[in-house]
């Protein structure tokens, strides 16, 4: 049965925040197609100026936007404020990226004229956003797309539509036409229709591998439609020799439990040298036991909020029980902290003896631990996944890191840093089920415009050569 309206609830309280009827996909795309030519014809300097005005509008609305993000996702207010800062910072990063990645170039030759390289926008771009960073991640597609001269139809996650609405209002208040940046409210049905719509020239998606693969299949017969997929990961963090056990434990906890584990770059698997297991895991558990889980506006501020909804919490607790029943040894049990709300304790389980470990993205505060004896075994285990987004080595020598970097299959590879918290000034994307080789962040400019090569002369000049009879 098709949804008639979308209703958003606070994960931390269950209270209704917002509701709206679903949008009309055909109408929204038609408006965007009509508006696109005039937007694309504007000078680049004008579009850049409007993006900077947008950043100022977000600044003016920063606390209200952060409050909405915190309410709608359940993340702590301090983290929601950080997300708003990322939205603002994305504008200047995107301006710099467009200049660097899609710059105009000319090569003059007196006899051959001019060889020119310029870039053109694709047209109407569909942006499908996730719920974990409902402002920052879609904004990372929208701003580069607009700078390049595309019109945008943004469908936020049905779990965080109110944040999407606030973000779009900031674009409109900045002076960008409401037809150039449009909000499409809807659920999976509207998302599928938008992806398949013949008036959409590109699909920019952040979310689960399941949905990303469905999008890829849906557009496979239309090679003219550009598709950028960012689909998460089953990310490994490898723990090797280091005297700094407390620092290592902190990096592990940050990687696994920031945002209640609801980051595509969160560490899902800790692969640890057997001889370090007791010492390191004692410290990791001690630190995890100190994590404050609470509502966004609690005092003292929590480190972790709830997961997005009760269905997600139920799935995670069932996954923990499955791993237990399959031979896993609990290090820190997953506990449902409130019966009717999706608050979960951070959980850790040793799955070394679990046969055929499921290669899935368990999107929440659940860290699986695997013991190994040799470094090559650690790398092999880290690569034992169809995903390939993020990976970190904690400890080890420079030679170990060189081997790790050379052999690990991931788009983000770190040393003595968390798996998460990637910079917007670098490309962000993965391989395998993590993406389709179109990294976002600094490289978003690459999929927002296409290169056009030109050979140009002010007057026609040509001569015939071999193969022509004399007159």
Give me the active site residues, please: 230, 264
Q: Please list the alpha-helical segments (H only) found in 122-276.
A: 136-148, 161-173, 188-196, 209-219, 245-257
Positive/negative CA dihedral, 69, 72, 77, 78 = negative
Q: What spatial distance separates the first Cα and last Cα of the chain, rounded to whole Å? A: 77
CA R_g for the chain: 24
Count helices and strands (H / E) in the chain: 14, 21
Beta strand 347-350 with 329-332 is: antiparallel
Question: Following DSSP, what letter does each residue of 54-112 receive, concatenated?
Answer: HHHHHHHTHHHHHHHHHHHH---HHHHHHHHHHHHHHHHHHHHHHHHHS--EEEEETTT
Check if the beta carbon of residue 390 is closer than 8 Å to that of residue 411: yes
Buried b / exposed e along 171-200 (16+ C-beta atoms within 10 A): bbebebbebbbbbbbbbeebbbbbbbbebb
Between strands 440-441 and 427-428, the pairing is antiparallel
């Amino acid at each position: 049965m098709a949804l008639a309206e979308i209703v958003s609830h606070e994960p931390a309280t269950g209270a209704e925040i917002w509701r709206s009827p679903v949008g009309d996909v055909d109408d929204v795309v038609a408006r965007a197609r009509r508006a696109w030519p005039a937007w694309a014809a504007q000078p680049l300097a004008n579009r850049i100026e409007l993006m900077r005005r947008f950043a100022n509008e977000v600044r003016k609305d920063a606390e209200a936007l952060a409050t909405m993000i915190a309410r709608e996702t359940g993340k702590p207010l301090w983290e929601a404020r950080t997300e708003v800062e990322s939205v603002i910072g994305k504008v200047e990063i995107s301006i710099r990226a467009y200049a660097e990645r899609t710059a105009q170039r000319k090569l003059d030759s007196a006899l051959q004229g001019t060889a020119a390289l310029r870039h053109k926008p694709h047209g109407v771009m569909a942006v499908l956003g996730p719920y974990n960073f409902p402002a920052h991640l879609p904004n990372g597609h929208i701003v580069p797309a607009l700078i390049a001269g595309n019109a945008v139809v943004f469908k936020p996650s049905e779990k965080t539509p109110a944040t999407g609405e606030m973000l779009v209002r900031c674009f409109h208040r900045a002076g960008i036409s409401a037809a150039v940046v449009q909000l499409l409210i809807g659920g999976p049905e509207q998302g599928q229709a938008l992806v398949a719509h013949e008036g959409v020239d590109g699909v920019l998606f952040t979310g689960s591998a399941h949905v990303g693969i469905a999008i890829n299949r849906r557009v496979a017969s239309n090679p003219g439609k550009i598709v950028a997929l960012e689909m998460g990961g089953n990310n490994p963090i490898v723990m090797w020799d280091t005297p700094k056990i407390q620092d290592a434990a902190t990096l592990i906890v940050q990687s696994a439990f920031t945002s209640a584990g609801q980051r595509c770059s969160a560490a899902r698997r800790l692969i640890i040298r057997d001889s370090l297991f007791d010492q390191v895991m004692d410290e990791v558990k001690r630190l995890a036991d100190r994590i404050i889980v609470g509502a966004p506006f609690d005092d003292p501020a929590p480190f972790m909020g709830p997961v997005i909804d009760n269905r997600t919490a139920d799935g995670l607790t069932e996954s923990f029980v499955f791993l237990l029943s399959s031979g896993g040894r609990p290090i820190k049990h997953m506990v449902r902290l409130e019966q009717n709300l999706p608050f979960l304790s951070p959980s850790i389980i040793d799955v070394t003896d679990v046969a055929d470990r499921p290669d899935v993205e368990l999107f929440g505060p659940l860290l699986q631990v695997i013991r190994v004896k040799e470094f090559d075994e650690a790398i092999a285990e880290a690569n034992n996944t169809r995903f390939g987004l993020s990976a970190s080595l904690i400890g080890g020598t420079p030679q170990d890191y060189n081997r790790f970097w050379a052999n690990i299959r991931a788009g983000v590879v770190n040393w003595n840093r968390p798996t998460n918290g990637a910079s917007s000034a670098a490309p962000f994307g993965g391989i395998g089920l993590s993406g389709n080789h179109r990294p976002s962040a600094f490289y978003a400019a690459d999929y927002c415009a296409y290169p056009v090569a030109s050979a140009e002369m002010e007057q026609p000049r040509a001569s015939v050569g071999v193969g022509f009879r004399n007159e």
